[in-house]
Amino acid sequence: MKHEIMTSLEVATCEDDIVNIDLNTIPDEALFQGGIHDQVDIGVLDDIPYIISDVSNNSNNSFPLGPRGPPPRKDDPGQYNFSVEIHSKDTHKKKFLFSHKLNRIYVNMETDFAVQFNWELVDLAVTQMYVRATVVFEDESQAEKRVERCIQHKLCSSDKGQDRVVSENVLRSSRPLGTNDVQYCGHPDDPDYWYSVLVQLPKPGREPCTHAFKFICKNSCSTGINRRSIAVIFTLESAS
């Protein structure tokens, strides 16, 4: 069965090409077919906010295809006490900045930002865990719409020949495409399936796990996010 825990971050945008992320951790777990989630709100530089959340036990999730319909928005650390952190000491001047006071990150497009995932091993039967990152629109009026990359960026030369499930996602792992422990999920021809990035975590242990992501579209792109606030939902999941 999946266990789900969630945390959230809020993000604001500043200048062109910058993505802002605000982080807060949230309450307790929800149990379902495999996950726990955390939510993060994020904004991209052109004065448009984005949100990021983590979710794992959600009956709307199929593994590893991805969530069908909008993922849950309620932050819940679950029985695994799942949480997400960005450390200011890891920020790089002029590329990405994180403020603990504002609980916000500012990052340029195509710039890696590391996210630390913390959880407690409470079920010895679970041998493999995953984190799913799903970008959603923050406003309720836009909540049923899938977030997609703009036409200009998804047709860029560096993505030529890439599967659409990769080229149409606004979020990407910083690891090279084709890396075994990273999967891009979704169904390009079915807008009910949200795009997500699924990362296989190391074997459960006491040490937290860090993974770097990057945005490959701007919130100002008129054929994509189009200045709408977005969020990223991180979900802790198991495969069984």
Under the phi-then-psi rule, with left for phi > 0, alpha for psi from -120 to 50, and beta for the rest, what region is 67?
A: beta
The answer on whether 150 is annotated among ligand-binding residues is: yes
Cβ 210 vs Cβ 112: under 8 Å: no
DSSP secondary structure code for residue 74 in this structure = S
Secondary structure in 3-state letters for 87-135: CHHHCECCCEEEECCCCEEEEECCCCEEEEEECCCCCCCCCCEEEEEEE
The answer on whether 156 is annotated among ligand-binding residues is: no
| Burial status of residue 31 (CB atoms within 10 A of its CB: 0-12, 13-18, 19 or more) | middle
- Residue with the two structure tokens 């909540």: 143
The answer on whether 3 is annotated among ligand-binding residues is: no
Question: What's the CA gap between 104 and 109, in Å, rounded?
Answer: 16
Question: What's the CA gap between 125 and 131, in Å, rounded?
Answer: 18
Tokens describing residue 53: 């959340």
The answer on whether 211 is annotated among ligand-binding residues is: no
Cβ 235 vs Cβ 33: under 8 Å: no
Give which of 67, 71, 69 is closest to 186, Cα–Cα.
67
Known binding residues are 150, 153, 217, 221
Known binding residues for Zn(2+) are 150, 153, 217, 221
